[in-house]
């Protein structure tokens, strides 16, 4: 298939591009490189541009025969979305609707959408199944839910096939060590713990030690980025006109912040300097996926089922790229 991957130079996007190419798909990447890295993707396949540049995208669709789009391009910081919601509604919703309109114009009816477990808000129980209420508690989650709903309506009305993939916590790096996680203003637990162990970042703050969990810290479901990437390829190959898929992607197993820290220490053989801090606003105590539907419908199975193995790949990437892609 000829596939356009928006946001394909980002963390999950670049791993998906790699997985698509490994399966023989013909891939183009559209990314503004604000958060993405040109080193993460084949540069002869990269078009640098914003989602809002409709004319450029229109020209691209006129000159390329694209079968499907995987749409990652979005802002993804929960805290920022609370303080600057217009940035999120404009890019994640308005500009995405502009993209969908172009897809309509060019008769491209197959879409895989990068969604998030943030659409659930605070779940009534865990593990979370797809039919649980969708009550996002921040603008980021609301933007993801809005596009899920738009896709659902477009699929009904225009016979599109789509898959909205609701990720839990993406982690790790490619097994071959080529690409990994390099976020500007890194805020995620695993890279921050690793970088603190390497002495590259200040001591890790543990956000909240009084949650109603066994050790008082938040529990999350960490899924290897290559497993996520593979699920995108499988979803793409599965969907056809009329397919509506909303699927959780997680390992189905939760780990607390303290368990993550202990695992980083075991993998790296170094201590992770830590300080206990207040809860971070908007963090639910426990988010764990029930990934049964993705397994049954796509035939997908996470290959990484052990947190230490996931962290091992992240450690390898960070220790060989102490300054991220700039180390190359
Ligand atoms: N966390 C933490 N210290 C940090 C970053 C994150 O204690 O410096 C916690 C955070 O409160 C959450 C978990 O680690 O419970 C995972 O956070 P992350 O930002 O990696 O992913 P999120 O769950 O927000 O998508």
Per-residue confidence (pLDDT) for residue 159, from 0 to 100:
93
How close is the Cα of 188 to the center of ligand 1, in Å? 5
Q: Are residues 202 and 59 in the same domain?
A: no
How close is the Cα of 189 to the center of ligand 1, in Å? 5
Q: Please tell me if the CB atom of residue 202 comes closer than 6 angstroms to any atom of ligand 1.
A: no
Q: Tell me: the pLDDT tens digits for 43-60?
A: 999 999 999 999 999 999
Per-residue confidence (pLDDT) for residue 2, from 0 to 100:
97
- Count CB-CB contacts under 10 A for residue 210: 11
CATH code of the domain containing 103: 3.40.50.720
Per-residue confidence (pLDDT) for residue 62, from 0 to 100:
97
Tell which atom from ligand 1 comes closest to the C-alpha of 277.
Answer: 7
Per-residue confidence (pLDDT) for residue 94, from 0 to 100:
98
Mean pLDDT across 66-73: 98
Rg (C-alpha) for the chain, rounded Å, is: 19
Q: Which residue has the tokens 């001591």?
A: 203
Confidence of residue 242 (pLDDT cuts 50, 70, 90): confident
Confidence of residue 183 (pLDDT cuts 50, 70, 90): confident
Per-residue confidence (pLDDT) for residue 240, from 0 to 100:
85
Q: Are residues 62 and 110 in the same domain?
A: yes
Residue 176 falls within a domain, yes or no? Answer: no
Domain range for residue 119?
2-171+222-249
What is the domain count for the chain? 2
Mean pLDDT across 232-250: 94
Select from 2, 216, 22 the least CA-distant residue to 108: 2
Closest C-alpha to ligand 1, atom 25: 169
Q: Are residues 127 and 210 in the same domain?
A: no
Measure the CA–CA gap between 319 and 199, rounded to whole angstroms.
11
Confidence of residue 127 (pLDDT cuts 50, 70, 90): very high
For residue 140, indicate whether it is catalytic. Answer: yes
Q: Find all residues with CB under 8 Å of 42, minimum gap 6, and list them.
A: 17, 21, 29
Q: Tell me: the pLDDT tens digits for 22-33?
A: 999 999 999 999
Q: Is the pLDDT of residue 241 over 80?
A: no
Q: Is the pLDDT of residue 296 over 90?
A: yes
Q: Are residues 229 and 206 in the same domain?
A: no
How close is the Cα of 132 to the center of ligand 1, in Å? 23
Q: Is the dihedral of CA 310, 177, 75, 22 positive or negative?
A: negative
Residue 138 falls within a domain, yes or no? Answer: yes
Q: Are residues 116 and 194 in the same domain?
A: no
DSSP 327: G
Q: Are residues 198 and 319 in the same domain?
A: yes
User: Long-range contacts of range 78-82, CB-CB < 8 Å, 24 or more positions apart?
Assistant: 78/118, 78/138, 78/140, 78/141, 78/282, 79/187, 79/280, 79/281, 79/282, 81/138, 81/139, 81/140, 81/143, 82/138, 82/139, 82/281, 82/282
Which has the higher per-residue pLDDT, 148 or 240?
Answer: 148
Q: Please tell me if the CB atom of residue 79 comes closer than 6 angstroms to any atom of ligand 1.
A: no
User: Which of 216, 250, 280 best tests ligand 1's pocket when mutated (most atoms within 8 Å of CB)?
Assistant: 280
Closest C-alpha to ligand 1, atom 15: 218
Mean pLDDT across 161-183: 96
Beta strands 222-224; 46-48: pairing state: unpaired
Q: How far apart are the first and last CA of the chain?
A: 31
Q: Are residues 200 and 320 in the same domain?
A: yes
Q: Find all residues with CB under 8 Å of 47, minimum gap 6, and list them.
A: 28, 29, 30, 31, 56, 60
Provide the mean pLDDT of the chain. 96
Q: Which of 11, 75, 140, 222 is catalytic?
A: 140
Q: Are residues 216 and 227 in the same domain?
A: no
Q: Are residues 276 and 291 in the same domain?
A: yes
DSSP 289: B
Q: Are residues 162 and 70 in the same domain?
A: yes
Residue 177 falls within a domain, yes or no? Answer: no
Q: Is the pLDDT of residue 185 over 90?
A: no
Last residue of a domain, one of 210, 230, 249: 249
Q: Are residues 263 and 228 in the same domain?
A: no
Per-residue confidence (pLDDT) for residue 79, from 0 to 100:
86
Q: Please tell me if the CB atom of residue 220 comes closer than 6 angstroms to any atom of ligand 1.
A: yes
Q: Please tell me if the CB atom of residue 205 comes closer than 6 angstroms to any atom of ligand 1.
A: yes
Residue 45 falls within a domain, yes or no? Answer: yes
How close is the Cα of 283 to the center of ligand 1, in Å? 8
Q: Tell me: the pLDDT tens digits for 11-21?
A: 999 999 999 99
Per-residue confidence (pLDDT) for residue 243, from 0 to 100:
87
Select from 37, 47, 42, 18 the least CA-distant residue to 326: 37
Measure the CA–CA gap between 234 and 253, rounded to whole angstroms.
22
Q: Tell me: the pLDDT tens digits for 78-110?
A: 889 999 999 999 999 999 999 999 999 999 999
Q: Tell me: the pLDDT tens digits for 130-148?
A: 999 999 999 999 999 999 9
Closest C-alpha to ligand 1, atom 10: 207
Residue 235 falls within a domain, yes or no? Answer: yes
Q: Is the pLDDT of residue 265 over 80?
A: yes
Mean pLDDT across 293-313: 97
């Amino acid at each position: 298939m000829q596939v356009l991957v928006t946001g394909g130079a980002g963390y999950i996007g670049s791993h998906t591009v790699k997985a698509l190419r490994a399966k023989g798909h013909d891939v183009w990447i559209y990314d503004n490189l604000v958060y993405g890295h040109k080193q993460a993707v084949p540069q002869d396949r990269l078009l640098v541009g914003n989602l809002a540049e409709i004319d450029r995208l229109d020209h691209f669709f006129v000159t390329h025969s694209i079968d499907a789009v995987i749409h990652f391009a979005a802002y993804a910081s929960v805290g920022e979305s609370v303080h600057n919601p217009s940035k999120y509604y404009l890019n994640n919703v308005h500009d995405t609707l502009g993209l969908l309109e172009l897809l309509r114009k060019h008769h491209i009816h197959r879409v895989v959408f990068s969604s998030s477990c943030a659409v659930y808000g605070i779940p009534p129980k865990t593990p979370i199944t797809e039919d649980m209420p969708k009550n996002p508690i921040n603008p980021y989650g609301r933007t993801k839910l809005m596009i899920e709903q738009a896709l659902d309506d477009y699929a009904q009305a225009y016979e599109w096939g789509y898959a909205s993939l609701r990720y839990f916590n993406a982690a790790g790096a490619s097994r071959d060590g080529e690409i990994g996680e390099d976020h500007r203003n890194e805020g995620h637990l695993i890279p921050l713990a690793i970088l603190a162990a390497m002495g590259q970042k200040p001591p890790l703050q543990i956000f909240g030690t009084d949650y109603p969990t066994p050790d008082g810290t938040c529990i999350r479901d960490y899924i290897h980025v290559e497993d996520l990437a593979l699920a995108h390829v499988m979803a793409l190959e599965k969907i056809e006109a009329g397919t509506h898929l909303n699927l959780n992607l997680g390992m189905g197993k939760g780990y607390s912040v303290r368990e993550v820290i202990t695992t980083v220490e075991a993998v790296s053989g170094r201590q992770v300097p830590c300080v206990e801090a207040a809860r971070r606003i908007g963090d639910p105590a426990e988010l764990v996926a029930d990934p049964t539907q993705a397994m049954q419908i796509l035939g997908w199975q996470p290959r990484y089922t052990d947190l230490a193995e996931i962290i091992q790949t992240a450690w390898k990437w960070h220790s060989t790229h102490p300054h991220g892609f700039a180390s190359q």
